[in-house]
């Protein structure tokens, strides 16, 4: 308690006002999403009673076993002309729960109401689950954690994340609605904007930020160029684009655009780490030699490139685990399953790894260039 009071005493009026506004926003947003049923066009029903009426064990042609359940649900409509009335619903779900789930008392569901019923009892079917209050609550947890750990930098990180999400949504919307627009150009411009905006917002206008921006852009686009060259000389042999078969746009451009944006995060991470380390060493000792800065920067890069490359690898591969399990459960050969599901992910991870490794010397020499300029000015 005393620690909290001491922290409050050390805060400026602006900081206290900011946290008060933040808490008010949190409370208001939670109250709003809990009582916002009238703002939805689709009927929403709150489950008041849920009973399990049937259980059935099923086995498919590959001897995969599962259980299916049938629920009898009564729910109260929360909006629309029938607000306050009870509606009868049925819910069929499986123990695996991939596309369905069990509902409990208190859950809120989007429903469709059957029309032209002869009696007064409403019936309908479940179309989706109302999850906005959970999403808003988790988003606030994310914001509070960022602010507690990162403080001012955490706030800037939230702002840059929001700006980047808005930019990406807008860029993809422009691409989808414009037939002549090339996806690689859209994502390339977006990557430049993501890099510049993110690093300037979080780190400000200084040599460290300029170093990170230059290193990130050079590393990312070099990675893309190398990947494009390798695809060209190998005629894309070994890559399986079946997961994009339903797209009506060029699949190769979609793959390269995903690779570009996917590798951007890892490359940006190592670029800012190298820049921060070298400028930190220089600021703590202005007499440090360029050779020592170069050696230290390269050693730091070598220490972290393994972990960042592994992060990239696991992020890509983890997305394929559900499909791998599905293939194995249905008796597909191991080699066929791996090639079908991992060829694109491995290519993305390898290309991102190349970008990360190339960014280390680029970052070191770019930082040294700016350090020399600072030395010359002083």
- What are the pLDDT digits (tens) for 233-246? 887 777 777 767 67
Average pLDDT rounded to a whole number, residues 123-135: 90
- Structure confidence at residue 315 (pLDDT): 82
Do residues 112 and 127 make contact, with C-beta atoms less than 8 angstroms apart? Answer: yes
Query: How far is CA 166 from each of CA 159, 178, 256, rounded to the nearest angstrom?
Result: 11, 18, 21
Bigger pLDDT: 248 or 42?
A: 42
| Among the listed residues 308, 272, 310, 277, the one whose alpha carbon sits nearest the alpha carbon of residue 295 | 277
Bigger pLDDT: 148 or 99?
A: 148
Bigger pLDDT: 374 or 10?
A: 374
Average pLDDT rounded to a whole number, residues 6-32: 84
- Reduced to 3 states (helix: H, G, I; strand: E, B; else coil), residue 124 is strand
What's the CA gap between 341 and 338, in Å, rounded?
5
Query: Which tokens go with 6?
Result: 């001491």
What's the CA gap between 58 and 63, in Å, rounded?
9
pLDDT at 262 over 90: no
pLDDT at 42 over 80: yes
Query: How far is CA 66 from each of CA 71, 328, 331, rounded to the nearest angstrom?
Result: 17, 16, 16
Confidence of residue 74 (pLDDT cuts 50, 70, 90): very high
Average pLDDT rounded to a whole number, residues 152-179: 85
Residue 315 host element (H or E):
helix 290-318
CA angle 244, 248, 234 (to 5 degrees): 50
What's the CA gap between 369 and 294, in Å, rounded?
11
Query: Which tokens go with 27?
Result: 């409370």
Average pLDDT rounded to a whole number, residues 93-101: 79
pLDDT at 96 over 80: no
CA angle 90, 91, 94 (to 5 degrees): 150
Instruction: Provide the 8-state DSSP code for 91.
Output: E
Bigger pLDDT: 2 or 131?
A: 131
| Among the listed residues 135, 137, 127, the one whose alpha carbon sits nearest the alpha carbon of residue 44 | 127
Bigger pLDDT: 9 or 360?
A: 360
- Structure confidence at residue 46 (pLDDT): 93
pLDDT at 18 over 80: yes
Average pLDDT rounded to a whole number, residues 305-328: 82
Beta bridge partners of 23: none
pLDDT at 4 over 70: no
Share of residues in the chain with pLDDT > 90 (%): 21
Bigger pLDDT: 48 or 149?
A: 48
What mean pLDDT, rounded, does the chain reach?
A: 85
CA 122 to chain centre: 40
Torsion sign over Cα 161, 164, 165, 166:
positive
What's the CA gap between 98 and 96, in Å, rounded?
6
pLDDT at 116 over 70: no
Query: What's the half-sphere exposure (Cβ side, CA atoms, 13 Å) at 138?
Result: 5
Average pLDDT rounded to a whole number, residues 206-222: 91
Residue 31 phi/psi, 5-degree rounding, is -65, -40
pLDDT at 7 over 90: no
- Structure confidence at residue 100 (pLDDT): 82
pTM, two decimal places: 0.74
- Reduced to 3 states (helix: H, G, I; strand: E, B; else coil), residue 82 is coil
Torsion sign over Cα 279, 349, 230, 254:
negative
Query: What's the half-sphere exposure (Cβ side, CA atoms, 13 Å) at 42?
Result: 14
- Structure confidence at residue 29 (pLDDT): 93
pLDDT at 166 over 80: yes
What's the CA gap between 349 and 310, in Å, rounded?
9
Confidence of residue 117 (pLDDT cuts 50, 70, 90): low
Beta bridge partners of 71: 52, 91
- Structure confidence at residue 48 (pLDDT): 93
- Structure confidence at residue 365 (pLDDT): 92
- Structure confidence at residue 263 (pLDDT): 85
pLDDT at 137 over 90: yes
- Structure confidence at residue 235 (pLDDT): 76
Query: What's the half-sphere exposure (Cβ side, CA atoms, 13 Å) at 127?
Result: 10
Confidence of residue 260 (pLDDT cuts 50, 70, 90): confident
CA 361 to chain centre: 28
pLDDT at 2 over 70: no
């Amino acid at each position: 308690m005393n620690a909290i009071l001491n922290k409050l005493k050390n805060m400026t009026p602006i900081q206290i006002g900011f946290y008060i506004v933040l808490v008010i926003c949190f409370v208001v947003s939670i109250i709003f999403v809990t009582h916002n049923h009238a703002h939805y066009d689709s009927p929403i029903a709150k489950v008041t009673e849920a009973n399990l009426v049937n259980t059935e064990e099923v086995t498919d042609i590959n001897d995969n076993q599962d259980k299916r359940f049938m629920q009898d649900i009564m729910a109260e409509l929360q909006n629309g002309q029938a607000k306050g009335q009870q509606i009868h619903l049925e819910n069929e779900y499986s123990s695996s729960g991939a596309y369905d789930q069990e509902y409990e008392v208190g859950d809120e569901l989007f429903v469709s109401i059957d029309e032209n019923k002869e009696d007064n009892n409403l019936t309908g079917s479940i179309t989706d689950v109302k999850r906005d209050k959970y999403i808003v609550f988790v988003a606030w947890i994310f914001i509070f954690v960022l602010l507690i750990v990162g403080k001012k930098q955490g706030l800037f990180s939230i702002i840059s994340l929001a700006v980047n999400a808005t930019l990406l949504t807008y860029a993809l919307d422009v691409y989808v609605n414009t037939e002549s627009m090339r996806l690689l150009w859209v994502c390339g411009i977006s990557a430049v904007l993501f890099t510049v905006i993110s690093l300037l917002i979080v780190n400000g206008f200084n040599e460290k930020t300029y170093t990170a921006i230059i290193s990130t852009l050079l590393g990312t686009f070099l990675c893309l160029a190398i990947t494009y060259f390798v695809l060209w000389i190998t005629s894309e042999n070994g890559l399986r684009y079946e997961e994009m078969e339903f797209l009506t746009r060029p699949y190769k451009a979609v793959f390269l655009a995903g690779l570009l944006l996917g590798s951007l995060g890892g490359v940006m991470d190592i670029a800012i780490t190298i820049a921060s380390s070298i400028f930190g060493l220089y600021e703590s000792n202005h007499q440090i030699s360029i050779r020592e800065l170069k050696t230290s920067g390269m050693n730091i890069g070598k220490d972290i490139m393994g972990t960042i490359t592994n992060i990239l690898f696991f992020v890509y591969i983890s997305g394929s685990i559900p499909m791998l399990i599905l293939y194995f459960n249905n008796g597909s050969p191991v080699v066929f399953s791996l090639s079908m599901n991992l060829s694109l992910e491995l290519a993305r991870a390898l290309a991102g790894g190349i970008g990360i490794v190339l960014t280390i010397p680029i970052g070191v020499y770019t930082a040294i260039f700016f350090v020399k300029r600072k030395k010359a000015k002083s």
